[in-house]
Amino acid sequence: MTDRKPLNRFSAGLSVRSGLVFVCLLGITGWSFSAHAIVDVHEQYFASPDSSRLSSWSFDVSGATGNDDRQAISVETHNLLRRERSTWMLVANYAKAESNDLETEDNQFAHLRYVQKFEGGQGVEVFAQVQRNRFQKLASRQLLGGGYRWDRSTALGPRRLFGIGLFHEQEELVALAEKEKVWRGNLYATFNVPLDLARGSSLNFSAYVQPDIENFADLRSIAVAKFVVQLTDRLSIDFTLAYDHDSKPAFGVDAQNFRYSSGPTYIFKD
């Protein structure tokens, strides 16, 4: 008979959210900001359109000792500051985990964006982004860019946004000392269409194409579709499906990737 160690587990989580509104995600499956070359941030940009300020912070620590020895920590934040003619947005997360003294997760992501609006729904934007995901062979990625955007959204109707721009990217892969520096184009479209299938239901769709401007064969793209059903004024449930493509992925990383997430969202607001 084999002696078995007693199993001790601990888990702690803390969420702090301030401002006029905050969002509580009750269930999420298979989603991560920092695992992919292109990150769609427009859901965060358009969150809580009736609020001028939003600040959401989430902290989570978990672990176990005994038969299963593991530790994990994650921090996420989502911040918006809206004015009549401008918007600032910052989204970021950090996640690190170990299991039996081996790292199983090491992700970092931060995206800062400023949008200046003009007449007729036109505007300009500048953005900066940093990423790290060692288990996707990404030691670091930094980019800085800007562009022009056409926002054809209406207050109570469909959301339609189109953008074109350029950014400089510096990328370093795990086990490679040389950093790759490229200029990429940035073309995107995102829209939200109300549906009559169920109460308050809608379809959100975003697509990005980012070619190397000196080598169009080096192309990255993403498509994200999200179906939302509004159960009450504050409670909704959604299902999201995403497809990523990288024509020049790192060695050992697939060129194509499917992701999904599903769960309810509850919004607390004044």
Q: Please, which residues have CB within 8 angstroms of residue 52's CB and are 6 or more apart in sequence?
A: 20, 81, 82, 83
Calculate Rg over the CA atoms of the chain: 20
pLDDT of residue 39: 78
Cβ(204)–Cβ(226) under 8 Å? yes
Cβ(182)–Cβ(248) under 8 Å? no
In the chain, which residues have pLDDT < 50? Answer: 1-35
- The CATH architecture one would assign to domain 31-53+81-261 is Beta Barrel (2.40)
Report the distance separating Cα 148 and Cα 165, nearest Å.
6
Which pTM was predicted?
A: 0.77
- Locate tokens 């997360």: which residue? 93
Q: Please, which residues have CB within 8 angstroms of residue 147's CB and are 6 or more apart in sequence?
A: 124, 125, 163, 164, 165, 166, 186
| Direct distance between the N- and C-terminal alpha carbons of the chain, in angstroms, rounded to an integer | 60
Cβ(18)–Cβ(261) under 8 Å? no
Domain ranges of the chain: 31-53+81-261
> What kind and span of H or E run contains 43?
helix 42-45
What are the strands, taking DSSP E only, across the chain?
8-19, 21-25, 53-65, 70-82, 86-99, 102-117, 122-133, 138-151, 159-173, 180-194, 202-212, 215-230, 235-246, 256-269
User: CA of 48: how far to CAs of 33, 228, 239, 263, 265, in Å?
Assistant: 20, 15, 19, 18, 12
pLDDT of residue 21: 39
* Residue 249, number of CB atoms within 10 A of its CB: 18
* Residue 26, number of CB atoms within 10 A of its CB: 10
CA quadruple 219, 146, 84, 269: dihedral, nearest 10: 50
pLDDT of residue 36: 52
pLDDT of residue 234: 73
Report the distance separating Cα 162 and Cα 9, nearest Å.
48
Q: pLDDT digits over 61-116, tens only?
A: 888 887 778 888 999 888 999 999 999 999 999 998 888 778 888 889 999 999 99
Tokens coding 62:
């978990």
Q: Residue 131 half-sphere exposure, CB side, CA atoms within 13 Å?
A: 25
Q: Are strands 215-230 and 180-194 parallel, antiparallel or unpaired?
A: unpaired
